[in-house]
Structure 1
């Protein structure tokens, strides 16, 4: 099943299982069913609990916060992740603070879905990956959708806790098929799951056992899919063996799986679609360099998009955003 349909079925399952779950956002009701059709059919099945809102992301966040404080479990869709800038105050100064500020006597378990990312020609204000601006917010979980992580299991985990969550969904994942690893394999690659207690799992992929890998590459979301193609190609064509780690949870980050891999390979490359600098990749570089300084054989390499606006023209957009070519060049350099 394609990922957008899996998300739709996940939301349907959440609404069916828990009467406290509400879904709200712009244009999510039928017949439109949301900008990316993830909510299609839900308002027909649950007319009182799936509601279209005015075009105001601040209102969506504020209403969600109030509903969560009143005991509901709101799942809010921000139509484009670019518009997360309009909910920043509500998230940072309110939603993420309540539980700690009131010593656990209040909870604000808002789940915000944010379709994000480029490579679709949508231009400067509808193509960004802005999750890095939320990674350092205390008490906020930032989780990235992945074709390797079952969204039903992920949302079940969200609903079992009282933490607010930002769930980042790269738009290019929607038409692709969910391919959760089975029986220790993901296609032609070996697959394992690694996680610390209380953390969402990191999926580890490689053509050969970890002990034979020369580099670790850390990537999430759509960039993880690009990295997987490069990992397979390098293994088959060049016998350059790389272990790919795909976390679901970006913040708080589970560093233990990364440490276990880099402790063996001695080399780390991070990949993200967000702009370079002050980012998830630079935090990974700082953390792993500090914790595994003696084990590293080379500096951590951070691969990110150019720090500029994202053009609409395909050729220009491809020069700004990270693609397979830049990932492959970084992995070749690290393995040399």
Structure 2
């Protein structure tokens, strides 16, 4: 499938903006309309330098039916990244997660149904709950992995709201013929990620002279993927994926949080033990792991950032050279964590 005009919701956020940069760089025939509410996690600076004739930013809410229908009527496809996505925030106040992730998705898929527009839904591996740790293996990873057939077992208000949105999309495909695909991706890292998230929080703490923080014992395992690899996978699914199918995106990047933090410290010239352990998150999932066999075999996708240390150094370098991007928010982010003893 080919597209000339696509809408990227949440395209001024972390993963969405990286996708917009990818499309502009690699697909010069495509015009991108970014629909973003510009909450704290959205940032116009994430789209800086992109040509105005290729990218248009519309500041608006995906729950605004009138606005969404006006935009979707002129589009060939919608790629839906917009979401409330921070687990800690969802535990404090679930309401915005229900509104954005569930109600917003329903507005989008109804508009795409009305105008028969191709829709791709960005989701998360967190909808599947967690997997047991393997204490006998390095990094406590390997063993069982999530597949497209894994049952949904969300743990937090965030992941349950994303699971709900996934199920809406599946129902609209079956009941109304919505031309949709879904992707569930593992933890992303890379440029433009908000500094409340684990990896950029640790990097910016070190750059700010603040001791990094580790939840609990740090044994929780995440399956890391560089956001550039995620962008390439989404484009592959959008253009070649089978309607109604779910594809899992992962790069075999299992690392526990303790090892990731200690590697960040090492790469930034610090002692690997120079961090503070803080109270754990309630209901903290133990381990995520993605089986991306379907994506690789059916659509031919392969990750390019296969060495986590190299990708992490790339990310450290970006935050080091873009202090003007994150510095103004740093004190407020840390104050919010301090209120929760984290």
Q: TM-score, normalised by structure 1?
A: 0.37
Structure having the larger proportion of residues in helix: 2
Structure having the larger proportion of residues in strand: 1
Structure scoring higher RCO (CA < 8 A, sep ≥ 6) equals 2
Q: TM-score, normalised by structure 2?
A: 0.36
